[in-house]
A and B are shown apart, each in its own frame.
Chain A
């Protein structure tokens, strides 16, 4: 199964978006944790 240029670009974009989602979710988790620890 050969990868063409379109596939490579797509793969890079897909992996980038997955990392971005993880970063966003982590940021939300840090924010919630900070608020909870601060309140308690």
Chain B
């Protein structure tokens, strides 16, 4: 029997959701300031409107504040699922009002692509978008990558929304306190921001001939999209716009930094030994090696790049961008569509597998991949050994851990759900008449929060496909659990007693 949620449950959820929305409103102050500084008055009005709505919702949520705002697990998951719908809905407002989107669905598509750190876009005439709205697109990626809830709990820790932390794909605490963990995440991000933006800006001024303001604009935006494995760029030609090896190398470092877990950052920063013995690190190095080899062999077999320099530069960057779930490209969508055979397989696998858990990357995640392979290996070994033999089911991840049947099962269920999501999206694409290979590529790219495109994603894409891809981005970023909790909450509200 399902228990129907009571008013207290609803108030707790509304209160926490209001807090999260307030943070989004506060984040809107950055593009608002830029809009005022650059005299982009129409954009400034749009941001004032969005901030006003956020403030209104936040104030109303304060009015319904429960006596005890602490959230149970199911509350937390429900808030999370709703927040990841409400935030892009609110964030879509300035995008839609910019006039660069054909409909509110298109603006919501880009906002969801932003917060889920995917990077697919259906914007029209990006190259003439106002700077402040362009900053907002990238800020949405930064907000989503850092974790909307992480940002919220940094400011509202005392109001009992700490349980939300775990649902954003950050299921391990680096420090005993979640607040200390949040501080460390902001510290790592801040250091990378300082270094990354400085390098980009100096390159922009010294080599590309930009003004300081323009170089800072591009540097800050590309940093936000790179470190949070988002993949948006201020210009429609992605990183090709810059024709800069410095931009590519800096971006590659930031993509790696974004795709590794904050737990690994901590091990590296605090000089803890044994990080390269962890199952997760070994798995991602092996899968990257495999997908890179497949990609390079495929490209060479097609004869697309005939010298070591261009084969390495194009192949390596694209596979790295795919595996880290970023989505920056140094080749055009039409060129990417020509990557057939093994090159396609390598890219699709890299996108599907994704980065590390508790990072800003999407996809199945390397720890799940490693545990799935280990569980299969243990099962085969168990079947081959004598009946009475004891099979050791352990793995190394920050120390020796036991691979219990329950853990193996939950890991395989999530992995299978990702595979199902990839295939379901591809089936929809095929139903709309796209070639299977292109439909699968785009579906994996959306579900694994990558953002590389072979050209299907465009403003002229069927509306239903846009909505389905929005759903894929949402489910993929939430790793299913929070979405299922929301469904359970709604179901218990409707049929519960």
B292-A32 in contact (CB<8A): yes
Interface SS majority for chain B: helix
A33-B253 in contact (CB<8A): no
B 165-206 to A, binary, CB cutoff 8 A, 1 in contact else 0:
000000000000000000100111011100100000000000
CA gap between A26 and B249 in the complex, in Å = 10
A21-B315 in contact (CB<8A): no
CA gap between A29 and B313 in the complex, in Å = 9
A14-B256 in contact (CB<8A): no
Q: Which residues of B contact A10 (CB under 8 A)?
A: 268-271
How many whole Å from B399's CB to the nearest CB in chain A? Answer: 20
How many whole Å from A13's CB to the nearest CB in chain B? Answer: 6
Number of interface residues of B (CB under 8 A): 35
B292-A28 in contact (CB<8A): yes
A37-B269 in contact (CB<8A): no
CA gap between A26 and B297 in the complex, in Å = 16
A 1-40 to B, binary, CB cutoff 8 A, 1 in contact else 0:
1010001001101110111011001101110111011001
A29-B312 in contact (CB<8A): yes
B191-A22 in contact (CB<8A): no
Q: From B300-308, B356-364, B381-389, give the one contacting chain A.
A: B300-308
A18-B296 in contact (CB<8A): no
A36: which of B187, B257, B289, B300 is its contact (CB, 8 Å)?
B300
B191-A33 in contact (CB<8A): no
A32-B293 in contact (CB<8A): yes
**B288 within 8 Å of A by Cβ?**
yes
Q: Which residues of B contact A29 (CB under 8 A)?
A: 292, 296, 312, 315-316
Nearest residue, chain A, Cβ from B316: A29
B253: which of A22, A34, A40 is its contact (CB, 8 Å)?
A22
Q: Which residues of B contact A34 (CB under 8 A)?
A: 308
CA gap between A22 and B315 in the complex, in Å = 14
Q: Which residues of B contact A37 (CB under 8 A)?
A: 300, 306-308, 311
B316-A19 in contact (CB<8A): no
- Do A1 and B186 form a contact, CB below 8 Å, given A13-B269, A29-B296, A36-B300? yes
A18-B308 in contact (CB<8A): no
**B320 within 8 Å of A by Cβ?**
yes
B296-A14 in contact (CB<8A): no
Which residues of chain B from 275 to 329 have a CB within 8 Å of any chain A CB? 288-289, 292-293, 296-297, 300-301, 306-308, 311-312, 315-316, 320
A18-B311 in contact (CB<8A): no
Interface residues of A, Cβ cutoff 8 Å to B: 1, 3, 7, 10-11, 13-15, 17-19, 21-22, 25-26, 28-30, 32-34, 36-37, 40
Nearest 10 A/B pairs, CB to CB: A10-B269, A29-B316, A36-B300, A11-B191, A33-B312, A14-B268, A33-B311, A33-B308, A14-B269, A17-B268
Known: A15-B253, A37-B300; 11 extra A-B contacts, CB below 8 A, are: A1-B183, A1-B190, A11-B188, A13-B271, A22-B252, A36-B296, A36-B297, A36-B311, A37-B306, A37-B308, A40-B301
